């Protein structure tokens, strides 16, 4: 099979095609070719992090907020060709009750020093993000899990507050993604009209049923919770270790239930892609299979389903004529052993090579 690429897009897929001598050719015989991964929940905020994300197979990354609009800058660097990294869907500043040091990200945020809770402040923060050019709004329904002094089950914003955020975002044609571990905050977010629930650890069937009815996606970031309970992981803390041991079986139940109910599930690594954060989407795919997904469905969660969630399924997510040349290759068939999905040896984004781990025959 030959894939012809020109100007960053797939022009032809044909087993009988013989490209012109004017084209550079890569002989990838024996490799398994897939669409590039879509990471629907990242915190990429450095140039090195963007490079590592791409090298792990991620060709599109949806930011789940960066404190100083680094995601917006990285997106523009990739678009301009100044950085070979994943395409980035930027979220900018987190719409959360207390901005803390993030308030220094923009002088316009100074008025929010006393909190982001009433209608005026909620709408203002959404507007500031929109003016800074974000592609998505990130807010929260519950507290964090990754800090020892917070309770991830505790609701933060109410349905009314979340609805204000969704309403203001819609004025700028922006969707809203909601961090929610606990059920009350998750249910309120779904009622308010968010497009996806991030994490969803303690969601009940009531909330899952509403998600299915309203076609809300789940991005469980399961591998991060696995890491939470592992000594020496990114969250090496005795309190968080105990918390992770409690959270993991709850999240397993949610992912299994959501999959069984037909709720669309997308992969999210929930990482900034630091030096130790490699193959995170591949690990998430592998873990999805361990939780009962078929290998095919798990791979789709990182490709076309992620693209649908991000609203970019017309331009990426499958290897199709006219779509972006977002392509990865692995050495062995992931459908026979899903662990093979983590062995990415080639990455191309928009027709530009970002990783070539083995010596292909290039002419």
Which pLDDT does position 267 carry in this prediction? 99
Quick one: pLDDT at residue 21? 80
pLDDT for the residue 66? 97
Are 76 and 54 spatial neighbours (Cβ–Cβ below 8 Å)?
no
> Could you say which residues of the chain have pLDDT below 50?
none
What tokens were used for 266?
A: 């997308």
Per residue in 17-61, pLDDT (tens digit) is 887 788 888 989 899 999 999 999 999 999 999 999 999 999 999
- Domains by residue range for the chain, with CATH: 35-315 (3.20.20.140)
Note the pLDDT of residue 146.
80
Which pLDDT does position 234 carry in this prediction?
A: 57
Residue 361's pLDDT is what?
Answer: 60
Rounded Cα gap, residues 224 and 65, in angstroms = 16
The secondary element (H helix, E strand) that includes residue 47 is helix 47-55
Task: Report yes or no: 74 and 91 within 8 Å, Cβ to Cβ.
Answer: no
Instruction: Spell out where 51-95 has E strands.
Output: 58-63, 87-89
Structure tokens at 192: 């308010």
* Tokens 């899990």, residue located: 145
CA distance 209 to 228: 28
> Which pLDDT belongs to residue 193?
99
Structure tokens given for 358: 């083995």
Cα dihedral angle (349, 334, 266, 187), rounded to 10 degrees? -170
Residue 362: the pLDDT is: 54
- Rounded to two decimals, the pTM is 0.95
């Amino acid at each position: 099979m030959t894939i012809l690429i020109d100007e960053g897009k797939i022009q032809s897929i044909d087993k009988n095609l013989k490209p012109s001598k004017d084209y550079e050719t890569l002989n990838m015989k024996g490799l398994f070719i897939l669409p590039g991964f879509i990471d629907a929940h990242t915190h990429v905020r450095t140039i090195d992090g963007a490079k590592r994300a791409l090298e792990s197979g991620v060709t599109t990354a949806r930011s789940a907020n960066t404190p100083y609009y680094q995601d917006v800058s990285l997106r523009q660097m990739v678009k301009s060709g100044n950085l070979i990294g994943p395409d980035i869907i930027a979220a900018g500043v987190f719409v959360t009750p207390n901005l803390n040091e993030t308030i220094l990200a923009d002088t316009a945020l100074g008025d929010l020093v006393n909190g982001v809770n009433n209608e005026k402040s909620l709408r203002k923060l959404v507007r500031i993000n929109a003016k800074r050019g974000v592609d998505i709004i990130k807010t929260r329904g519950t507290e964090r899990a990754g800090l020892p002094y917070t309770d991830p089950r505790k609701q933060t914003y109410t349905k009314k507050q979340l609805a204000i955020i969704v309403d203001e975002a819609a004025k700028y044609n922006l969707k809203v993604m909601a961090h929610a571990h606990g059920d009350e905050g998750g249910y309120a977010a779904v009622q308010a009209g968010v497009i996806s629930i991030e994490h969803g650890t303690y969601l009940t069937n009531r909330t899952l049923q509403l998600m299915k009815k309203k076609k809300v996606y789940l991005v469980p970031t399961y591998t991060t919770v696995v890491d939470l309970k592992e000594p020496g992981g990114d969250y090496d803390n005795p309190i968080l270790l105990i918390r992770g041991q409690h959270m993991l079986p709850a999240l397993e139940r949610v992912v299994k239930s959501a999959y069984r109910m037909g709720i669309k599930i997308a992969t999210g690594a929930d990482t900034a892609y630091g030096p130790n954060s490699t193959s995170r989407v591949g690990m998430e795919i592998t873990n999805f299979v361990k939780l009962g997904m078929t290998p095919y469905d798990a791979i789709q969660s990182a490709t076309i389903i992620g693209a649908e969630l991000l609203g970019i399924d017309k331009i990426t997510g499958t290897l199709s004529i006219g779509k972006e040349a977002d392509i990865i290759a692995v050495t062995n068939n992931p459908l026979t052993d899903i662990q093979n999905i983590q062995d990415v040896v080639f990455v191309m984004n928009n027709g530009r090579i970002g990783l070539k781990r083995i010596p292909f025959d290039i002419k």
